[in-house]
Amino acid sequence: AAGVIQSPRHLIKEKRETATLKCYPIPRHDTVYWYQQGPGQDPQFLISFYEKMQSDKGSIPDRFSAQQFSDYHSELNMSSLELGDSALYFCASSLETGINSPLHFGNGTRLTVT
C-alpha cells in the first residue's frame, strides 16, 4: 500500500540558511500534518492543512511556513535556520472526513543545522 513520502531523507544546512521539506500524502488523504521531533522528544505538532487550506497551527516558529498544493503535496519552508531546528521532521496524512481514519506518518526528514 502507498505510504506518505517525504524528501529528502537527510538534509544538512548551516545556520541562517533556508530549507524546504516536501511531503506527498497517501493518495485520497485530505489532511496533511507536520510534526517536529527533537532527539529523545515526543513529536510536536507544527501545522496542518485540510483540502489545501491551513486547518490548524501548533508550535510553528514564525521563521517557518508551509503550504499544500493543488496535487495535495505539502512543503515546509524553514528560513534563518538555527542550531535548535535540528530535528526529525515528520509529515503525516489522514482522511479527515473518513470514519476512524488514523494518522499515517512518513519516514521523516532528518535536518541537521551546523
Q: How far is the CB of 31 from other proteins (least distance, A)?
A: 7
Please say which residue, 61 or 95, places its beta carbon nearer to other proteins: 95
Interaction site with other proteins (CB under 8 A): 31, 33, 41-45, 48, 55-56, 58, 90, 92, 94, 96, 100-108
Compute CA distances 46 → 28, 35, 67, 68, whole Å: 22, 5, 12, 14
| Cell matching residue 93 | 496524512
Please say which residue, 3 or 77, places its beta carbon nearer to other proteins: 3
Q: How far is the CB of 43 from other proteins (least distance, A)?
A: 5
Q: With helix as H, strand as E and coil as C, how does 60-90 read?
A: CCCCEEEEECCCCCEEEEECCCCHHHCEEEE
Please say which residue, 22 or 45, places its beta carbon nearer to other proteins: 45
Q: How far is the CB of 12 from other proteins (least distance, A)?
A: 16
